[in-house]
Structure 1
Amino acid sequence: MLKRAVLCQTAALFVEADIRNWQPEQALDLIFANASLQWLPDHYELFPHLVSLLNSHGVLAIQMPDNWLEPTHVLMREVAWEQNYPDRGREPLAGVHAYYDILSEAGCEVDIWRTTYYHQMPSHQAIIDWVTATGLRPWLQDLTESEQQHFLTRYHQMLEEQYPLQENGQILLAFPRLIPFIVARRTE
């Protein structure tokens, strides 16, 4: 991802590091995290750490999918349970009130909201293709090819039960974003 980003950049500096313990050379004006922090544990420690990297009045902008309770993700867990596979999904997000408190206590003025996008999907297989690159990846990565096929066949069946076709044959896939946009401004 970074190799491709460097090709598009102008004056940005790209650094490969573990954000949980990364220390930049100087305080930052902006940290923007798009659909990444949901994969990391312990936001109660991580978010204050990120705030500590900002300069005075710096901005932490975070957007995370909040689809843990959506059928796409509930069904992943159900299929794994049915087939006796270990739970490999991510933890649910802490919630709006928790994130507000975490960031307020870290010295930020916080704007936080949740929204739901509805993606028009042409088929149930398109939903699988979509989530295979993200939410399904941890479930499938340690399975044999045969186990993956068995998992995906059952997952497809369950998706058909949960996501009816619209009149035009499309499927509306709800994609909630919590803190889809948390904007936290340091006040010190």
Structure 2
Amino acid sequence: MSTAATPTWDPAQYLRHAGHRARPFADLLAHVPDLPAERPRIADLGCGPGNVTALLAERWPTAHITGYDNSAEMLDKAHVEHEGPTAGGGRLDFAPADVRTWTTGEPHDLIVSNATLQWVPGHTDRFADWITALRPGGTFAFQVPGNFAAPSHRLMRDLAPRHGLADVLRHDDAVLDPGDYLARLADLGCAADVWETTYVHLLTGEDPVLDWVKGTGLRPVLTALADDPERREAFLDEYRTALREAYPAGAHGTPFPFRRIFAVARREA
């Protein structure tokens, strides 16, 4: 995962909502067509702690799958929890890489990215290279959050300048609209399927939306204030109060609407 702020990542915090976070990736994979090779070569760009990369091995147990990430903390977790041979004679491994510059010297059957490209400014500029790296009939698939205008992110951005963090956070242009992704992938000669879904996650516990964003979108703030606990707590106190108003708890938990954008692009055989 990449950003100009280069946040540090906490795998344990990220995985606190692992079930909700994994669902969009499972929905993405359900739309990926059959791959051209019997023993596919697969890359997962921005694999995080490897928990969703392991879903690739369940779908394609004969594949050689490599998850790439630029977070040592995330890769350490992935190596320990998920690396090794797969049930069908394939292999799952992990390696350090920056999505902004990642290239491959071998043809791939599937290049996939889950909730990572929003951290990469100008990520559509990489699409041509990745599609060129596919075998004929191979697929490039990704999903990104489309919730940058939601209160969870808008409030974060509104508060940041008051705490000396004006340039730390991403803005609402971190991802494109679905139609723009469709046009760019079609221009590259792909048969593309692009759609969006808004999940309404029912979160439980105390301040669950704050707990959620501590694992992802708030990481640049937490990183920037890591050596200044007083400023960190001041920001969190103000942000927590705003989130409680924006996302009130209900009888069964706290509803948290979360828009996602999906794309599956197949290189013509």
Shared fold (TM-score greater than 0.5)? yes
- Give structure 1 stretches of 5+ with no counterpart: none
| Separation in 2, partners of 1:13, 1:140 | 29
Which residue is 1:177 aligned to? 260
Give the partner amino acid of 1:76. Answer: M
Which residue is 1:2 aligned to? 75
Which residue is 1:37 aligned to? 117
Q: Are 1:186 and 2:259 matched, yes or no? A: no
Distance 1:49 1:33, change over 3 A: same
Q: CA deviation at 1:123?
A: 4.5
Q: CA deviation at 1:82?
A: 3.2
Distance 1:127 1:67, change over 3 A: same
Instruction: Spell out, residue by residue over 1:113-172, the C-alpha distance to the aligned partner (whole angstroms, 9 max, x if none).
Output: 100111112255221111111100112211211111000000011112211222x15210
Distance 1:156 1:84, change over 3 A: same
Which residue is 1:146 aligned to? 230
Distance 1:178 1:122, change over 3 A: same
SS at match of 1:15: strand
119-128 vs 51-60, greater mean Cα deviation:
119-128
Distance 1:3 1:165, change over 3 A: closer
Q: Are 1:130 and 2:212 matched, yes or no? A: yes
* TM-score normalised by L of structure 1: 0.90
Q: Are 1:118 and 2:118 matched, yes or no? A: no
State the Cα RMSD in Å. 1.8
| Separation in 2, partners of 1:31, 1:82 | 40
Q: Percent identity?
A: 36
Which residue is 2:182 aligned to? 100
The structure whose RCO (Cα within 8 Å, separation 6+) is larger is: 1
* TM-score normalised by L of structure 2: 0.64
| Separation in 1, partners of 2:238, 2:254 | 18
Which residue is 2:240 aligned to? 156
Asked if 2 retains the 8 angstrom alpha-carbon contact of 1:109 and 1:184, the reply is yes
| Separation in 2, partners of 1:85, 1:126 | 23
Distance 1:86 1:6, change over 3 A: same
| Separation in 2, partners of 1:19, 1:136 | 20
| Separation in 2, partners of 1:117, 1:164 | 17
SS at match of 2:78: helix
SS at match of 2:77: helix
Which residue is 2:14 aligned to? none
Asked if 2 retains the 8 angstrom alpha-carbon contact of 1:20 and 1:49, the reply is no
Which residue is 1:47 aligned to? 127
57-66 vs 78-87, greater mean Cα deviation:
78-87
SS at match of 1:21: coil
Q: CA deviation at 1:6?
A: 3.7
